[in-house]
Amino acid sequence: MINLHELRYVRLGTRDIEAAVGYACDILGLQLVRREGGWTYLRSDERDHTLVYFEGDPKDHTIAFDVSANEALEHAGTLLEQNGFRVHAGSRDECDQRRVRSFIGFKDPSGNHIELVFGALHCGRRYFPARDAGITGFSHVGLRSTDPRRDEIFWTTLCNARVSDWIGPAPLLRIDEIHHRIALFPSSFAGIQHINHQVESIDDLMRSWYTLRDQGIPIRFGPGRHPTSGAIFLYFEGPDGMTYEYSTGVRLIRRDEEATYCPRHFPFGSTGFCMWGAKPDIPEFQS
């Protein structure tokens, strides 16, 4: 089994990198770290970076996870190849670009680009955002899946993810105590469907709601509250059609609950996504 330790970063292609980076700093509230070799690095917590923009196809997305040791990375590569996945071992230059000691890349069964990394750098200074949105860290991603059941089996059999709950066919998967780090939503194509950052409080979330409205940023869903994780949420539109989410108060499923916790089933509709009555303007959240 591949033991995913932590969600590390996402990389996104964009046709207009200046607009994308401006949005990430001034609207989303990330910190610009560096520009280097056509890559622009931003962060939202103690990690060296959590989001990278590069000039390229806006449909070119990558999500990365940490593993805890180089031996674990080697084991993951062997296991993936034994199960028919084509694995790319990162060159020294590619590792340096990612600020990691080593990594492998592959595609999940839907075609999502996944990287497993070892030895990723942290930053020795505190996160200092361009806009104080109250962000406490990069928390989870929604992934598009052409077959959620098949992909659920991949993440829970080859990898150490566990199902926390389902919304219709969409599994919400955890790799630690956080209710979910990955959510798989039905789609006809691959890619990252949304990117979540946790904020410190509901006050931060509501302040951003007013700020986003004043800036003319389309609100895609919320404010509302997920009946699955219990998190209060706000989804909004970002560059190149990407959806970003702020949320706060996400449920923890602690180790002493693992033996007795039973995943729940929620309807794939507005009541499965929001217990307050908000209606999503997000295709993957609509039946």
Tell me the domain boundaries of the chain.
6-118, 135-285
What is the pairing mode between strands 135-145 and 264-266?
unpaired
Q: What is the pLDDT of residues 152-201, one digit of tens each?
A: 999 999 999 999 999 999 999 999 999 999 999 999 999 999 999 999 99
> How confident is the prediction for the chain on average, in pLDDT?
97
Q: In this structure, is the dihedral angle defined by the CA atoms of residues 255, 258, 260 and 263, taken in order, positive or negative?
A: positive
- Return the pLDDT at 185: 98
CB 123 within 8 A of CB 48: yes
- Return the pLDDT at 3: 96
Provide the pLDDT confidence category of residue 138 given band limits of 50, 70 and 90: very high
- Return the pLDDT at 259: 86
- Return the pLDDT at 128: 93
DSSP string over 129-192: -SS---EEEEEEEEEEES-HHHHHHIIIIIB--EEEEEETTEEEEESSSBS-SEEEEE-SS-SE
pTM check: above 0.75: yes
- Return the pLDDT at 130: 84
Provide the pLDDT confidence category of residue 251 given band limits of 50, 70 and 90: very high
- Return the pLDDT at 287: 73
Q: Which residue has the tokens 């449909």?
A: 59
Q: What is the pLDDT of residues 108-118, one digit of tens each?
A: 999 999 999 99
What is the pairing mode between strands 264-266 and 61-66?
unpaired
Provide the pLDDT confidence category of residue 256 given band limits of 50, 70 and 90: confident
Give the CATH H-level superfamily of domain 6-118.
Answer: 2,3-Dihydroxybiphenyl 1,2-Dioxygenase, domain 1 (3.10.180.10)
Side chain identity at residue 10, one-letter code = V
- Return the pLDDT at 58: 97
Q: Which two tokens stand for residue 273?
A: 């996504």
Q: What share of the chain is helix, strand, coil (3-state, %, to 5)?
A: 25, 40, 40
Q: What is the pLDDT of residues 26-70, one digit of tens each?
A: 999 999 999 998 999 999 999 999 999 999 999 999 999 999 999
Residue 101 exposed, middle or buried by CB count within 10 Å (0-12, 13-18, 19+): middle
**Average pLDDT in the 270-285 region?**
95
What is the pairing mode between strands 31-36 and 39-43?
antiparallel
Query: What topology does CATH give the domain 135-285?
Result: 2,3-Dihydroxybiphenyl 1,2-Dioxygenase; domain 1 (3.10.180)
